[in-house]
Amino acid sequence: MRRREFISFLGVTAGWPSVLNAQSRERPLRVGVLQGQPETDENFRAFRMMFVDRLRQLGWTDGENLRIDYRYGAGDAASMPAAAKELVDLNPDVILAITALAAMAIRQYTLSIPTVFVQVGDPVVLGLVTNLARPAGNITGFTAFNYDIGGKWIETLKDALPNLAWVAIFFEPGNPSSTQYTVAVEAAAAKMKLRLVPVSVRTVADIGSAFAGFADVSRGAIIAMPVGTIVQHRKEIITLAAQYHVPGMYPLRLFAAEGGLMSYGSDIGDQYRGAAFYVDQMLRGMKPADLPVQQPTKFSFVINLKTAKALGLTLPGALIARTDEVIE
């Protein structure tokens, strides 16, 4: 299904009356939500509220004709299987899987419960679906990035920092998405003759050790991958980047909003609103296989000028002119 056709489809079906509601069933329908990050993460809480608000607009209210059950991970792969199994054992009618870690964990325990994912890199590479247009299984959803965005991160850093000589890549070992992003970053770095410094992050201690070991920080920068452990420990990364005066390019706006220098990525909120529509359609009986995986079409470039000033940077006017948002 082409995106234009899909948008038209949304407009038509959004007004369909619900055929599966509390009045026609003995119990409310049940939606399970598995989040890769802890419940206390404020940004993910805001995204979840976007999902719940959109469901309400579509006629589904938690506590009335719908019950939503939440389970959370700790931002790493090890914490997900138990939470995923617990959620699947509740036998919800539909599951929302937030992040690739959550989607892959759900995949281990059910091939039948309709599932929608958000904030996933390449679901084909991850083995979640075999085809974006026709997922052909019980899972579909919304991708966060095209992996080629890794090249854009490098190019933008070079535009901002003409004397840039090296870039440290913060990644999560064992996460397939880290590998895919790294391929694009490496290609762009080689083209610009930049040295790459891989930083494997399993714990907070790994972050501190990396910054302490950086040499010639005046010509360096960092890139943070949009994967579980990195997002979970973003505050530590941003704080140490400020302490060591290392500029950073980040994958999500929330990094820049919390003090990171720059971010370039897709509109995450759109994914959650779209996911609510997909959940709505599945609650009404549509199969995940008939709902194509949606890729982002709108990306946002954000610069935190307060951080730039603190780092002693004067960013090119042409670069600032390209921004979608400037945080002052």
Nearest CA to 122 out of 234, 273, 227 is that of 227
Neighbours of 79 (CB within 10 A): 19
Query: Which tens digits make up the pLDDT trace of 103-135?
Result: 999 999 999 999 999 988 889 988 999 999 999
Domains assigned to the chain: 3-145+267-298 (3.40.50.2300), 149-265+300-327 (3.40.50.2300)
Q: What share of the chain is helix, strand, coil (3-state, %, to 5)?
A: 45, 20, 35
Helix segments in the chain, DSSP class H: 3-13, 42-57, 80-89, 100-109, 149-160, 176-191, 204-213, 228-232, 234-243, 253-257, 268-283, 305-310, 317-321
Per-residue pLDDT at 316: 95
Nearest CA to 54 out of 270, 285, 300 is that of 270
d(CA 4, CA 269) in angstroms, rounded, equals 20
For residue 234, report the phi and psi dihedrals to the nearest 5 degrees. -60, -35
Instruction: Say whether 186 sits in a helix, a strand or coil.
Output: helix
Q: Give the pTM.
A: 0.76
Per-residue pLDDT at 57: 98
Per-residue pLDDT at 144: 84
Give the chain's end-to-end CA distance (angstroms, integer): 41
Per-residue pLDDT at 130: 92
Q: Which residues of the chain have pLDDT under 70?
A: 1-26
Nearest CA to 110 out of 34, 38, 174, 37 is that of 34
